[in-house]
């Protein structure tokens, strides 16, 4: 299949590489051009602009946020203006529900097909074709994409025939991760102040009731106070919690834990921790317990 791929960061690169390995012809594009080189060596064609990447049956976007997706989707030479009639845009970025709805409407008007397919997994999983794909769209749109999703992930969940629902489900997952981090940070602050070894505590939890990747990954970071370099920065975490709250407000669903997370992430960012991994939320619990009196208690200090 002829596939355009826009956005070649840590995640997009691995996904594009796996589509090439599965035998597809890829035209790849990234705003900063050096990103395409390794894929070109694998057989991809480098596009000089978004419009060139749109001469395809399917174009994927895998970008960092709403703004980046808007920049490539709309405007004179954007995806909506450039994609051939009948072709499909697959949006894999973690974007707002509102933008996904806007993309669906714009593509419908332009005679395109549109599906949302955000993914779960980190860069290593993207490289190893071990992502989980959360897909949504009209059955006739999604059906032909399934083999592409199989090429990039270990399992695909089709959650709705309305594309933006996949974005909602993805955001809800990030909300759940943030809430696990916050709770874990509070629990660690509590037992650590009582003298329990943090590493042993996390080992206990993750060997028993909480033997899930999310507690293992973030528990380890918290126990080791290892917040740099960020796997996922606090500023991005704040953005995602804001997007969840915004979608929830549209649907009129109060989410008290998400509100608390928003305040905590905002505190972390406001006190200078925006570039730390979002698991640095745990430092706030420690700080409020007075346990940081002898450490720097302000990230900007």
**Residues of span 121-140 touching its own copies by CB under 8 A:** 132, 134
Closest distance of CB 39 from its own copies, Å: 27
Cβ contacts of 121 within 8 Å, gap of 6 or more: 130, 131, 132, 153
Q: Give catalytic status of residue 193 as yes or no.
A: no
Which of these segments, 10-18, 23-31, 79-87, 196-204, binds its own copies (CB under 8 A)? 196-204
Residue 221 engages its own copies in binding (rule: CB under 8 A): no
Residue 244 engages its own copies in binding (rule: CB under 8 A): yes
The secondary element (H helix, E strand) that includes residue 273 is none
Exposure on the CB side of residue 179, measured as CA atoms within 13 A: 14
Residue with Cβ nearer its own copies (71 or 253): 253
Residue 212 engages its own copies in binding (rule: CB under 8 A): yes
| 25-44 binders of its own copies (CB under 8 A) | none
Residue with Cβ nearer its own copies (45 or 216): 216
| 42-61 binders of its own copies (CB under 8 A) | none
Report phi then psi at 272, rounded to 5.
100, 5
Residue 117 engages its own copies in binding (rule: CB under 8 A): no
Closest CA to 168 of 244, 228, 236, 268: 244
Residue with Cβ nearer its own copies (64 or 172): 172
Q: Catalytic: which of 170, 193, 239, 295?
A: 170
Residue 190 engages its own copies in binding (rule: CB under 8 A): yes
Residue with Cβ nearer its own copies (40 or 253): 253
Q: How many residues bind its own copies (CB under 8 A)?
A: 79
CA distances from 95 to 6, 69, 164, 247, 287 (A): 15, 8, 9, 11, 32
The total number of residues shown for the chain amounts to 301
CA distances from 238 to 137, 227, 254 (A): 27, 16, 17
In the chain, DSSP finds a helix count (H) and a strand count (E) of 15, 9
Residue with Cβ nearer its own copies (140 or 209): 209
Residue 259 engages its own copies in binding (rule: CB under 8 A): yes
Burial class of residue 212 (count of CB atoms within 10 Å of its CB; 0-12, 13-18, 19+) = exposed
The secondary element (H helix, E strand) that includes residue 72 is helix 66-73
Residue 288 engages its own copies in binding (rule: CB under 8 A): yes
| 139-178 binders of its own copies (CB under 8 A) | 155, 157, 159-160, 162, 165, 168-169, 172-173, 175-177
Cα Rg of the chain, angstroms: 21
Which of these segments, 62-70, 80-88, 139-147, 200-208, binds its own copies (CB under 8 A)? 200-208
Mind telling me the catalytic residues? Answer: 170
């Amino acid at each position: 299949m002829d596939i355009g791929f826009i956005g070649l960061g840590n995640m997009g690169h691995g996904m594009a590489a796996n589509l090439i390995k599965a035998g597809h012809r890829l035209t790849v594009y990234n705003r900063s051009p050096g990103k395409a080189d390794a894929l070109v060596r694998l057989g991809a064609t480098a596009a000089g602009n978004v419009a060139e990447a749109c001469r395809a049956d399917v174009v994927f976007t895998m970008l960092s946020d709403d703004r980046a997706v808007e920049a490539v989707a709309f405007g004179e030479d954007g995806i909506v203006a450039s994609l051939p009639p009948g072709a499909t845009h697959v949006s894999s970025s973690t974007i707002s529900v509102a933008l996904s709805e806007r993309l669906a409407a714009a593509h419908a008007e332009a005679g395109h097909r549109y599906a949302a397919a955000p993914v779960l997994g980190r860069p290593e999983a993207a490289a190893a074709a071990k992502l989980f794909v959360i897909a949504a769209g009209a059955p006739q749109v999604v059906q032909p994409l399934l083999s592409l999703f199989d090429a990039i992930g270990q399992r695909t969940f089709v959650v709705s025939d309305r594309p933006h629902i996949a974005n909602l489900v993805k955001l809800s997952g990030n909300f759940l991760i943030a809430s696990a981090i916050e709770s874990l940070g509070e629990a660690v602050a509590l037992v650590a102040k009582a003298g329990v070894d943090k590493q042993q505590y996390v080992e206990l939890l993750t060997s028993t009731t909480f033997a899930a990747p999310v507690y293992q990954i973030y528990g380890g970071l918290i126990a080791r106070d290892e917040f740099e370099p960020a796997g996922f920065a606090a500023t991005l975490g704040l953005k995602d919690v804001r997007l969840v709250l915004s979608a929830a407000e549209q649907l009129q669903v109060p989410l008290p834990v998400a509100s608390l997370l928003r305040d905590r992430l905002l505190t972390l960012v406001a006190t200078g921790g925006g570039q730390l991994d979002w698991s640095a939320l745990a430092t706030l619990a420690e700080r409020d317990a007075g346990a940081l009196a002898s450490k720097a208690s302000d990230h900007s200090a």
